[in-house]
Structure 1
């Protein structure tokens, strides 16, 4: 008797034990089973070990992709702790070492006020014999190439921005990020890399930062450790100093191309398709109200500058920014810039103040460099009061989020307006939302062109005209995608018809 009260075995009337074999009952006699072949240990019924190894050694494409992804993660983890200090090497390092010896003696023989009145070329001519005398005193012999390089470095130090000058003159560099005197990163073709430039010390770097902000009438010191400024070519500069920056003075420079960017050039770069370029050209020419949305460094300002090329030269355009960086390509263009408060905390002029004042300056279009707060309501009011064709940029990750952020910015201000009224004002004012994005391979793409149709209940209704769809990635990491038209009839067709562009506008969207 088993522990469960049943008799073991296969006796008559007894239940078969677990796992015992029972013959299958069928309509006919069961064919006798062939005797099992005699096999060695392991048996032929099992596949040989060599075959198993071959199957294991040939992973599927999905497994290979997973292995590559995990290998990339391991590489990234190994590189994350690497020290990233900028160091001069070779020829440049030797020139900078000589500069450190020559500069103090040179300053003893030069009148700074007189030197400030000369151009760089004139100063180089004046310096040449003096540098020769100093080198003779120090018993340093240089060839012609080294002497020219030394002259350039010294002139940059006295009149320019020191080590930053060579980066600013490099057309391939789009961003410069100084993280203290020992580390400088640059962006080339959308990728960050360590630059081989270095500052003497923190005082040297702070002096360069103050030279930048003083040129535009601003200051950076212990009382105002933050400053926005611009260079002569319009490049945007942000400076933050200790105690806010723990690694020393930090300078961020966003360079802008000397050559004006057009919509056709963006199409040539692969940032948008030909049909999308046609739609944006018509939207700019037909005075549609456009919001350009995207993340930091995605190309919003570049897109805004390109769209400004389509503005009629006879229109009066006002641009309003914190730091004037827009470079419009129109004859009748007036840039306005905000002003920070003084030492007593008074006298600040905000973007909202300038928007309100701009309405009294008879503008045809008002362009905001970036919407950040309560000025959003005043811009919407301007769009609804005869300033069609106004444009602005805004930080957001999608067209739908862009509209939600506009609602939030109006609600965060002191304007007591119901949410439904704000949404209706946005729906009545904005015609197109152009979404731009910087992809992980460094390329900038126009990923969406979305139309604002109106309201349905308390929700803003939109329809997508174009969309960028990700397809694949090359072995070099380049993203492959397709710009797809949704094939919808545009709601803003009537606006294009008023300017005679209805037929090409419709053909481009379908």
Structure 2
């Protein structure tokens, strides 16, 4: 059976187990034998220290799994011919079912994979880092929807979340310990019946282990060195920046990279629905929302929103406030903070263009503020933000396709002037061709560079007349 699934060449253990029906059934049988065994009780497994759960857990469960295999094989009718390699793979697969993400463990260990999408038990797609296409792994599948649901339950229980008919959707951030001791940050979303008609759906986003810098983005071709230097100055001059783009365009990656230019002595407060940011400074306060709980008998069911956290952060003496993604009522409080002296804020927003980002922000503020006039909201936005960056995903590439400065208001419209733009000339095998062009305008925010003694970029880079 080996070698019949080329898409599994990088996932040896999966290939050994899930492309062989006998081995697959053996893993299922052994795992079922452990479910009612006190030696594998959730209390005993959860009692393992998180930082050593993977190593200590494997040392604990693998000898017992070996014993279970020997017990099973005492019945000649249930014996399966196993090589040494097969046996070790079965033990590892059962261990993963007990301790971790089950059949998804090898995919999580694969550094080339950035996203894992499970569409019920029999369809698993992956996206490899840097690629824009999804790849189906036909030989990797759960036994059935119950197997998938049990795996989801085990994962979310570790972070004190649950998904059931009352709460059939869950978002969670999981810090997964790797064999080498490093922590892998994973964002998980699951949705089950009755909302998901066909059965459980699971989406997993893996975040890079290494911190992405502006220099890395230059190497990747996402922007030029001149643009990176300018963005570094923008951050050091404490300008407020709005990063816009579509899903998967690289907004959070750019935000992480841009945050690297924040001086190390500043107190930074980050606010997110699911913590994804990975700032390198020492003085960072990370805040994360709390979803409503069906077990809490209050009107809000214990929910803590981004708006609650933005309000609270203002009492925490922040030098910078970073909102991972603005998407609702918190937009109003964020604008008020920016317009009352809290400089250097960064945030992202889903939008189709820089102009669209401002329109979406206006809508969010209007919904949160009641009867406030559109003109007043636009004035507040134009005074709050200095720069709008737009990220685009073109083929397999991600580019800062537009850098714009907000220069004020003109006839009830927020004025934008474009400083740099990416001009596409073609697309070859998923790789975009084109150049970054200066638009010939000198940014007004350079006055703030001068006021804060930030090194001035050469005027020649703007091609200004």
TM-score, normalization by structure 2: 0.86
Distance, in Å, in 2 between the alignment partners of 1:315 and 1:331 is: 9
What is the total number of aligned residue pairs between the two structures? Answer: 421
Given the alignment of the two structures, is residue 121 of structure 1 paired with residue 72 of structure 2, yes or no? no
Distance, in Å, in 1 between the alignment partners of 2:328 and 2:36 is: 51
* Aligned match of 1:164: 104
Structure of greater Rg:
1
Distance, in Å, in 1 between the alignment partners of 2:385 and 2:213 is: 23
Preserved contact between residue 295 and residue 437 of structure 1 (Cα < 8 Å): yes
* Aligned match of 1:254: 205
Bigger mean CA deviation after superposition, 192-201 or 357-366: 192-201
Residue-by-residue CA offset, 1:400-450 (whole Å, 9 max, x unaligned): 1111111111112244321111111111110111100111x2211111011
Residue-by-residue CA offset, 1:475-503 (whole Å, 9 max, x unaligned): x3422111111121111001111232352
Preserved contact between residue 212 and residue 229 of structure 1 (Cα < 8 Å): no
Of 229, 246, 256, the match for 1:305? 256
Distance, in Å, in 2 between the alignment partners of 1:505 and 1:386 is: 29
Preserved contact between residue 275 and residue 509 of structure 1 (Cα < 8 Å): no
Given the alignment of the two structures, is residue 428 of structure 1 paired with residue 383 of structure 2, yes or no? yes
Given the alignment of the two structures, is residue 479 of structure 1 paired with residue 432 of structure 2, yes or no? yes
Preserved contact between residue 339 and residue 384 of structure 2 (Cα < 8 Å): yes
* Aligned match of 2:229: 278
Q: Over aligned residues, Cα RMSD in angstroms?
A: 1.9
> Superposed, which structure 2 residues align to 1:103-114 within 5 Å?
103-107=31-35, 110-112=39-41, 113-114=43-44
How far off its partner does 1:106 sit? 4.3
Distance, in Å, in 2 between the alignment partners of 1:417 and 1:505 is: 42
Distance, in Å, in 2 between the alignment partners of 1:493 and 1:221 is: 54
Q: Are residues 209 and 506 of structure 1, via their aligned partners in 2, closer, same or farther at CA, if it must alter by over 3 Å?
A: farther
Preserved contact between residue 278 and residue 505 of structure 1 (Cα < 8 Å): no
SS of 1:235's equivalent? strand
Preserved contact between residue 105 and residue 134 of structure 1 (Cα < 8 Å): no
Bigger mean CA deviation after superposition, 108-117 or 276-285: 108-117
Q: Are residues 152 and 506 of structure 1, via their aligned partners in 2, closer, same or farther at CA, if it must alter by over 3 Å?
A: farther
SS of 1:291's equivalent? strand
Preserved contact between residue 288 and residue 431 of structure 1 (Cα < 8 Å): yes
* Aligned match of 1:48: none
Of 453, 473, 492, the match for 2:407? 453
How far off its partner does 1:275 sit? 1.5
Which segments of 5 or more consecutive residues in structure 1 lack a partner in the other structure? 1-87
Residue-by-residue CA offset, 1:9-48 (whole Å, 9 max, x unaligned): xxxxxxxxxxxxxxxxxxxxxxxxxxxxxxxxxxxxxxxx
Which segments of 5 or more consecutive residues in structure 2 lack a partner in the other structure? 1-13, 176-183
Given the alignment of the two structures, is residue 463 of structure 1 paired with residue 417 of structure 2, yes or no? yes
Given the alignment of the two structures, is residue 187 of structure 1 paired with residue 115 of structure 2, yes or no? no
Q: Are residues 505 and 365 of structure 1, via their aligned partners in 2, closer, same or farther at CA, if it must alter by over 3 Å?
A: farther
SS of 2:364's equivalent? helix
How far off its partner does 1:361 sit? 0.7
Whichever structure has more strand as a proportion of its residues is 2
Of 332, 356, 372, the match for 2:327? 372
Q: Are residues 96 and 312 of structure 1, via their aligned partners in 2, closer, same or farther at CA, if it must alter by over 3 Å?
A: same
TM-score, normalization by structure 1: 0.79
* Aligned match of 1:45: none
How far off its partner does 1:342 sit? 2.6
SS of 1:220's equivalent? coil
Preserved contact between residue 213 and residue 258 of structure 2 (Cα < 8 Å): yes
Of 340, 343, 346, the match for 2:301? 346
Preserved contact between residue 117 and residue 202 of structure 2 (Cα < 8 Å): yes
How far off its partner does 1:454 sit? 0.7
Distance, in Å, in 2 between the alignment partners of 1:307 and 1:505 is: 20
How far off its partner does 1:356 sit? 0.9
Distance, in Å, in 2 between the alignment partners of 1:490 and 1:454 is: 13
* Aligned match of 1:66: none
SS of 1:342's equivalent? coil
Given the alignment of the two structures, is residue 491 of structure 1 paired with residue 444 of structure 2, yes or no? yes
